[in-house]
Amino acid sequence: MSAGVRRARDAAEREAAIEVRRLVFCVEQGVPLKDELDGRDAEALHLVAVDDGDGVIGTCRLLFRGRTCQLSRMAIVEEARGRGIGHALLDLADAEARRAGTSRIALHAQMHAQSLYARHGYTPRGPRFEEAGIEHVAMEKSLA
């Protein structure tokens, strides 16, 4: 992997992360922008994958509620997929969730990404469901 992963440093990087999400979820997958922008970005910790030549090429966000970290909006631009960026973002998300004192991470996985999360210790909970027109499964991981 040639990209580095870290917390978004400023508003410009957060906006670049949101643009990555728009490209992946809205343009590629057809999710309406109103569904993608849920009003929770200001309260989230945004993690980014940054490539020196291309800027922000991947992202996810973390929302903290008590002892639970909600991981959401993980997206990587198409041309950067397959380089280990998703794995690196998940590793960083684990570290940030532990640093925040949470005991578990929960997420809604698109079905095509379920195996990625499973390789990182997430297990499915509950039945499949549709979110923004895409089939998902809820997954969680204990950090204890």
CA distance 32 to 124: 26
Residue 34 neighbours by CB under 8 Å, 6+ apart: none
Instruction: State how far the alpha carbon of 66 is from the alpha carbons of 70, 104, 105, in Å.
Output: 10, 10, 11
| Span 24-41, pLDDT tens digits | 999 999 999 999 999 999
Query: What pLDDT, on the 0 to 100 scale, is given for residue 52?
Result: 79
Q: Provide the β-strand partners of residue 140.
A: 106, 123
Q: By percentage, how much of the chain surpasses pLDDT 90? A: 92
Residue 119 neighbours by CB under 8 Å, 6+ apart: 87
Cβ 77 vs Cβ 108: under 8 Å: no
Residue 134 neighbours by CB under 8 Å, 6+ apart: 29, 31, 110
Domain total for the chain?
Answer: 1
Domain that holds residue 36: 4-142
Q: Please tell me the pTM assigned to this model.
A: 0.94
What CATH number is attached to the domain comprising 35? 3.40.630.30
Token pair listed for 19: 């643009």
Query: What pLDDT, on the 0 to 100 scale, is given for residue 2?
Result: 64
- End-to-end Cα spacing for the chain: 29
| Span 96-112, pLDDT tens digits | 999 999 999 999 999 99
